Structure 1
Amino acid sequence: MQSKAVLFDMDGVIVNSERYWVETEQTDILPSAVSGSADTSETTGMNFREIYDYLEARHEMTASKDEFVARYEEAARDIYGEKVDLQANFRDLVADLRAEGRTVALVSSSPHDWISRMLDRFDLRESFDRVISAEEIDAKSKPEPDVYEYAAEQVGVAPEACIAVEDSENGVESAERAGMRVVGYRNQSDERLDLSAADAVAESPEELRSILLGE
């Protein structure tokens, strides 16, 4: 798939953090804050601060928003600082995309300090032309298109000339609503999300490379 810019989501695409977030949410964060049960698939791809508001509208909450946010912050230090692995051959993929003259950006709902922890751990700061967090514009969570509309402006490429790589249903919808083509990426987590709305779906790092570089 040819494009002028490739925009990578972070969680579940660049690093395999989704499996750790699902586990942490199911065993710790949600049980400590929600009376009854909550389905983590509903909130995949959403900004963690907005997850509380989403849950509060649908469930009886047993923790304050400040307590909820603090648990996410604590978990993020552990997940990005210790647990996650980088997608196989990701550095080579990004280098080859940039060698073709394509702009490469990281676009995430996560705050900059979480992103920075990941970038520093894997020494990726020089790999991206732009690193974009939804917190820069107080964007509404995916599936709203805000963060991808902003990303297109920041990289100076029309949305229709961008490809977003996303692992969640909310992320796919967000990029499509912004006018971009989307590659759905199966991140090998336990969740089998419906990525059929994407223009293409990659089941592995090798298939993602083939789709993006036409190999």
Structure 2
Amino acid sequence: MDGVLVDSETYWHRFEDEWVFAAAIEGGDPAHEEVTGMPYYEIYDYLDREYGTTVTKDEFVAAYQDRAESLYGEDVRLTEGIPALFDSLRAEGRPLAIVSSAPQSWIAIVRERFDLGPLDLVLSAEDIDEPGKPEPHIYERAAAELGAEPADCVVIEDSLNGIEAAVRAGAYTVAFRTTHNAELDLSRAEVVADGPEGLRRVFLGSE
């Protein structure tokens, strides 16, 4: 969802610059790609281990939850062409799933606001009792829920952690390149889709 269906990574990166990296850690200079794609409650664990933290995990989680409401409800915009792409894939009989590190409550805001349904599966990292991205468990679970092998699934990811999770699960991985990850090496994915037009070419072979 984040960074693929909606442009939320831009806003989360700003939140990280203004509060997470500026006030919630003891020191150091984390890069956005270190944490992008991870479940937000695991971001705390990572930062605490690597940089030290100045807030409790409860305070950290609460700050993310507070920001999420307006971020998804007001700020983000839907990626151009997503409804048409979804309609085309449904017409071909392909199952569609959102598999996200975001909680179900955040996903629900986006689904309702942009009418992203019907879907065959909506799976959040909070739904599985396993570590989140970059570990492969969420994509392995998603494939199982859909009655498929990971190798028969196509995953669209924008973050290094997400790409790593999909590749390690054995899925065919498409990296979605957009403004927030324009400078990152996305070569772990099988193919890189440049923007909405690139996604359409990958899936439908056309503009």
Same fold (TM over 0.5): yes
Deviation, 1:97, is 0.7
Instruction: Name the CA distance, whole Å, in 2 between partners of 1:181 and 1:190.
Output: 20
Aligned to 1:49, the other structure's residue is in SS state: helix
* Equivalence for 1:138: 129
Cα contact 1:29–1:71 (8 A) shared by 2 = no
Whether 1:99 aligns to 2:87 is: no
Residue 184 (structure 1) aligned to one of 175, 181, 187: 175
- For 1:75, the aligned partner's letter is R
1:23-51, CA deviations, whole angstroms, 9 ceiling, x for partnerless residues?
11111233221012332220111000011
Whether 1:68 aligns to 2:55 is: no
Residue 51 (structure 2) aligned to one of 40, 59, 65: 59
* Equivalence for 1:49: 41
Instruction: Name the CA distance, whole Å, in 1 between partners of 2:122 and 2:34.
Output: 26
CA RMSD between the two structures: 1.2
Whether 1:81 aligns to 2:70 is: no
Aligned to 2:88, the other structure's residue is in SS state: helix
> When the two structures are superposed, what TM-score results if normalisation uses the length of structure 2?
0.95
The percentage of aligned residue pairs carrying the same residue is 47
Gaps of 5+ in 2: none
Cα contact 2:173–2:191 (8 A) shared by 1 = yes
Deviation, 1:138, is 2.8
Deviation, 1:191, is 5.6
Instruction: Name the CA distance, whole Å, in 2 between partners of 1:38 and 1:21.
Output: 14
Cα contact 2:158–2:181 (8 A) shared by 1 = no
Deviation, 1:186, is 1.0
Deviation, 1:184, is 0.2
Larger RCO (alpha carbons 8 Å, 6+ apart): 1
Residue 113 (structure 1) aligned to one of 95, 105, 121: 105
* Equivalence for 2:11: 20
Aligned length: 205
Gaps of 5+ in 1: 1-9
Instruction: Name the CA distance, whole Å, in 2 between partners of 1:183 and 1:190.
Output: 14
Cα contact 2:133–2:162 (8 A) shared by 1 = yes
- For 1:187, the aligned partner's letter is T
Cα contact 2:134–2:164 (8 A) shared by 1 = yes
Aligned to 2:163, the other structure's residue is in SS state: helix
1:81-138, CA deviations, whole angstroms, 9 ceiling, x for partnerless residues?
1000001010010110111111111110111001001111111132x22111111113
- For 2:189, the aligned partner's letter is A
Whether 1:40 aligns to 2:32 is: yes
> When the two structures are superposed, what TM-score results if normalisation uses the length of structure 1?
0.92
* Equivalence for 1:7: none
